[in-house]
Amino acid sequence: DTAVSQTPKYLVTQMGNDKSIKCEQNLGHDTMYWYKQDSKKFLKIMFSYNNKELIINETVPNRFSPKSPDKAHLNLHINSLELGDSAVYFCASSQGIPQETQYFGPGTRLLVL
C-alpha cells in the first residue's frame, strides 16, 4: 500500500490555465505539507496543515490555494499558471506537534508551456 500518494504524476499545461494536484495519505497522520522542488533540486516548503487547519503558509503567491477536506487529504489548486510554476511538487505527512519523520509522496512534475 502506498503511504503518501499524489495524482497526477505528470501534468503538462498551458500558461494561464488552472490545475489541481491531489494528495492522500493512509498513515493516519494529522499533519500534511506541500513542498516545491525547482529545476536545481532546491526544496522549499509551501504550506502545512494540521487537522485541516493551515499552520504554515510561506511566501507563496495567492494563486496557490491548498485545501484540506479531511486529515488524510491535502490538495493544491493553482490558478493562472505561469512558466515559473514549472517544478516538482511533493506532498508529505507526519504525526503530531512536534512532528516526527515526514513521509513524502512520489511527486507531481508540473510543466507549464
Partner 1 sequence: GDSVTQMEGPVTLSEEAFLTINCTYTATGYPSLFWYVQYPGEGLQLLLKATKADDKGSNKGFEATYRKETTSFHLEKGSVQVSDSAVYFCALRFQGAQKLVFGQGTRLTINP
Site for partner 1 in 53-92 (CB under 8 A): 55-56, 90, 92
Q: Which of 47, 36, 43 is nearest to 82 (CA)?
A: 36
Among 78, 81, 93, 105, binds partner 1 (CB under 8 A): 105
Is the CB of 18 or the CB of 58 nearer to partner 1?
Answer: 58
Smallest distance from partner 1 to CB 94, Å: 8
Decide: 79 and 92 in contact? Cβ < 8 Å. Answer: no
Q: Is 111 exposed, middle or buried (0-12, 13-18, 19+ CB in 10 A)?
A: middle
Is the CB of 41 or the CB of 70 nearer to partner 1?
Answer: 41
Q: Other C-beta atoms within 10 Å of 9: how many?
A: 12
Footprint on this chain of partner 1 (rule: CB under 8 A): 4, 31, 33, 40-45, 48, 50, 55-56, 90, 92, 97-99, 101-107
